[in-house]
Structure 1
Amino acid sequence: MTKRIFITATNTNIGKTYTSKLLIEAFTRLGLRVGVYKPIETGVTTIPSDGIELFETACIHNPALQSLNVSDIVTLQLSLPAAPFVANEGKPIDLSIFDKALAKIEALCDIVIIEGAGGLMVPIDSETMMIDLPRHFNALTLLVTHCNLGCINDTLLSIKALEDAALPHLFGFNCRSEEQDFKTTSLPYLNHRFKTLYRIDNDIDTIAKALFDTISS
Structure 2
Amino acid sequence: MSKRIFVSATNTNIGKTYTSTLLVGALSRMGLRVGVYKPIETGVTAIAPDGNTLFQAALSFNPELASLTLNDIVTLQLPLPAAPFIANEGKKIDLSFFDAALAKIEALCDVVIIEGAGGLMVPIDDDRMMIDLPRHFHAVTLLVTHCNLGCINDTLLSINALETAALPYVWGLNCRSEDTDFEIVSLPYFNHRFENIYRIEKDIDAIAKALLDTISSTNEERLCNT
* TM-score of Structure 1 vs Structure 2, range by shorter chain: over 0.9
- Corresponding position of 1:100: 100
Answer yes or no: is the 8 Å Cα contact 2:75–2:101 preserved in 1.
Answer: yes
1:107-186 aligned at under 5 Å gives the runs: 107-186=107-186
Counterpart of 1:208, as a letter, is A
Superposition misfits of 4+ residues, deviation over 4 angstroms: none
Q: How many residues align?
A: 217
Letter in structure 1 aligned against 2:117: A
Q: Deviations over 1:141-166 (max 9, x none)?
A: 00000000000000000000000000
- Equivalent residues in 2 for 1:1-217 (5 A)? 1-217=1-217
Give TM-score scaled by structure 1 length.
0.99
Render the CA deviation track for 1:79-128: whole Å, top value 9, x for unaligned.
Answer: 00000000000000000000000000000000000000000000000001
RMSD: 0.5
Specify every segment of 5 or more residues in structure 2 that has no aligned partner in the other structure, as ranges. Answer: 218-226
Query: Which one is further off, 134-143 or 206-215?
Result: 206-215
2:2 and 2:112 in contact (8 A); partners too: yes
Deviation of 1:214 (Å): 1.6
User: Any idea what SS the aligned residue of 1:117 has?
Assistant: coil
Q: Match for 1:168: what amino acid?
A: P
The CA deviation at 1:216 is 2.1
Any stretches of 5+ residues in structure 1 without a counterpart?
Answer: none
Residues 172-191 of structure 1: CA deviation (Å, up to 9, x unaligned): 00000011110000000110
TM-score, normalised via structure 2 length: 0.95
Identity score, percent? 75
**SS in structure 1 at match of 2:113:** strand
Q: Distance in 2 between matches of 1:51 and 1:62?
A: 16
Contact 2:168 2:214 in 1 (8 A): no
